[in-house]
Structures are given as C-alpha cells and as structure tokens.
Amino acid sequence: MAGELLGIGTRPKLVASFDPPGAEKRFAAWREANAGELAAVPLEAMRVEYGRSGAGLYVRVRVDEAHLPGSLNPA
C-alpha cells in the first residue's frame, strides 16, 4: 500500500482529560500529583489543550508515545 512504510513521527496519547465545570482546578491538582512523572517529559513532547464548550472550559493533556512514563499510560 502506498505510504505504508512512511514514518509519521511520534503520536500524542491522551493521558488526562478534564471536563467542565471545574476543569482548571482538577487539571492543576492532577499536574501537582503527577509532577515527578511530568518532570521527565520534555516540553516538546507534552501538549496541554484548552477549549470551550457550552458548559465551560475543558482541558486535555497529551504526551508523545516515545516519552510516555509508564505511570501516566492510561493503557
């Protein structure tokens, strides 16, 4: 199949998701509780996505698979 052997780079994996209401506070608590594991993740390998829905702010955290600490892997 065409393109089958092309590398697509690292894929970000969803490791945490916080829906409104109170997403910001729950995200801050999660980040504090996982500070040790997150310290080992390079900044360029982690994405924190914020967005708004009708109910308010939501937060999603993704980490590239190559840098995913086992303790954060939702498996």
Chunked into runs of 10 residues, the chain (75 residues) has average pLDDT values of: 62 92 96 94 93 91 87 66
The span from the CA of 54 to the CA of 20, in Å, is 9
Strand order in the sheet with 46-53: 12-18, 56-64, 46-53
Q: Which secondary structure element, helix H or strand E, spans residue 24, and what is its range?
A: helix 23-33
- The pLDDT value given to residue 6: 65
Q: Write down the pTM of the prediction.
A: 0.78
In angstroms, what CA-CA distances link 53 with 6, 27, 36, 59? 36, 16, 31, 11
- The pLDDT value given to residue 53: 85
- The pLDDT value given to residue 18: 97
* 8 A C-beta contact, residue 65 and residue 18: no
- The pLDDT value given to residue 35: 94
Four-CA torsion 14, 29, 69, 9, nearest 10 degrees: 40
- The pLDDT value given to residue 60: 96
